[in-house]
Amino acid sequence: MYTQLVETGMKGVKTLEDMSPQERAWQEKINGGVKVEPKDWMPDAYRKTLVRQISQHAHSEYVGMLPESNWIGRAPTLKRKAILMAKVQDEAGHGLYLYSAVETLGVSRDAVYADLLSGKAKYSSIFNYPTLTWADIGAVGWLVDGSAIVNQVPICRCSYGPYARAMVRVCKEESFHQRQGFDIMVALCKGTPEQKAMAQDALNRWWWPSIAMHGPADEASVNSAQSMAWKIKLNSNDELRQKFIDQTVPQIEFLGLELPDKDLKWNEARGHYDYGQIDWVDFFNVVRGKGPCNEERLAARNKAWDDGAWFREALTAHADKQDAANLQQAA
Ligand code: FAQ
């Protein structure tokens, strides 16, 4: 099974008629575009779904720092290095806003983080692929952040206030990330034939995981119908995947690179690009923890947690001392 099927108690999407008067009034507020805030009543299943999605999103930001930080020490110029460091720091910040948003739902950050460290919680499939060359840093910024923006801009309008507000700043920063990635690709494509070949190779390897990261096809997406009824998701996985493909193909052409999929063709009748078959077997393998870098990513996050133990202990000891001093002063 590729989904945790978080026990929400739901059997299909409830209609207004199936709901208690309290839930119905709440759903009608959501239908009318009113935001849900932490102290408001909300159905337990809505809360659990938000904890699942927001914590997975936070974990993705934290794990997502790893493939890129791999290149900080090897960036080709001082300027590229400074930009990459800033980007990786931004991802840590995104994780922090998202963990704070999860905490507004009554769960502790330590508890959800423990689920990442134990391998119980998911994080985005995309971060289980290796960054083999400098061009991969261009491709990650351009394609992965590009996909993330397409997914996250609608979340700025989602029904849960703290999640929606966190996404506003995240999306602004992701736009900068996407441009820095594209800028690396432009430099490589205008460079030597070897540099252009490196850019092509990175595109070929990152294209498919970047379109798969939008999640399973709509007919296999177990959570979408309910999440869309609750306006946690405003678009289906396939809608967002198509939007990303449509906006990215002209960018590939601008770079003068070959299309990474022979079936990518403009379909006049649909007004969209058609695309080839995604390798869902590979995707679900990665989601189940069997991707090229899953073990390495979890090991890195566990090592960082263990290495930071002394710092957490020092902070607690300092806070205890402060409390004791304050008590003494008050006495
Ligand atoms: N990877 O029923 P659905 C970034 C799971 S941030 C792993 O369609 P849902 C920034 C899914 O959890 C990237 N698992 O699920 C950055 C579920 O299993 P569960 C992260 C996946 O939730 C850039 C099962 O499959 N962004 O890139 C994936 O309705 C560069 C069934 O799927 C977010 O998290 C996947 N790709 O839709 C950072 C955005 N797709 O939980 C550093 C917020 C699906 O029942 C460097 N999240 N699964 O056990 C979402 O929009 C949604 O959660 C989806 C999945 C669209 C990801």
- Residue of 158, 163, 38, 196 lying closest to 105 (CA atoms): 38
Q: Is the pLDDT of residue 2 over 60?
A: no
Average pLDDT of the chain to the nearest whole number:
96
Between the CA of 1 and the centroid of ligand 1 the distance, in Å, is 15
pLDDT bracket for residue 287 (50, 70, 90) = very high
Q: Which residues line ligand 1 (CB under 6 A)?
A: 2-5, 52-53, 56-57, 60-61, 64, 91, 122, 124-125, 140, 144-145, 148, 151, 213-216, 221-224, 227, 233, 237, 287
Q: Is the pLDDT of residue 6 over 70?
A: no
> What would the mean pLDDT of 213-217 be, rounded to a whole number?
98
Structure tokens at 59: 């974990």
Between the CA of 214 and the centroid of ligand 1 the distance, in Å, is 7
Closest-lying ligand 1 atom to the alpha carbon of residue 53: 53
Higher pLDDT, 285 or 13: 285
Alpha carbons 122 and 267: distance in angstroms, whole number: 35
Q: Is the pLDDT of residue 14 over 90?
A: no
pTM for this prediction: 0.95
Q: Which residue has the tokens 């710092």?
A: 311
Measured between alpha carbons, how far is residue 107 from residues 104, 166, 253 in Å?
7, 17, 46
- Residue of 328, 284, 215, 257 lying closest to 2 (CA atoms): 284
Q: Is the pLDDT of residue 73 over 80?
A: yes
> What would the mean pLDDT of 277-304 be, rounded to a whole number?
97
- H/E stretch holding 274 reads strand 272-274
Between the CA of 200 and the centroid of ligand 1 the distance, in Å, is 27
pLDDT bracket for residue 12 (50, 70, 90) = confident
Report the alpha-carbon angle 56-120-232, nearest 5: 30
Between the CA of 278 and the centroid of ligand 1 the distance, in Å, is 16
What pLDDT is recorded for position 13? 87
> What would the mean pLDDT of 295-320 be, rounded to a whole number?
97
pLDDT digits (tens, 9 = 90+) for 216-238: 999 999 999 999 999 999 999 99
Between the CA of 78 and the centroid of ligand 1 the distance, in Å, is 34
Structure tokens at 167: 């996404």
pLDDT digits (tens, 9 = 90+) for 85-143: 999 999 999 999 999 999 999 999 999 999 999 999 999 999 999 999 999 999 999 99
Structure tokens at 300: 């890195």
Pairing mode, strands 272-274 and 265-267: antiparallel
Best residue among 122, 136, 152, 157 to mutate for probing ligand 1's pocket (most ligand atoms within 8 Å of CB) is: 122
Residue 125 near residue 212 (C-beta atoms within 8 A): yes
Closest-lying ligand 1 atom to the alpha carbon of residue 4: 49
Alpha carbons 270 and 55: distance in angstroms, whole number: 36
Structure tokens at 55: 């914590």
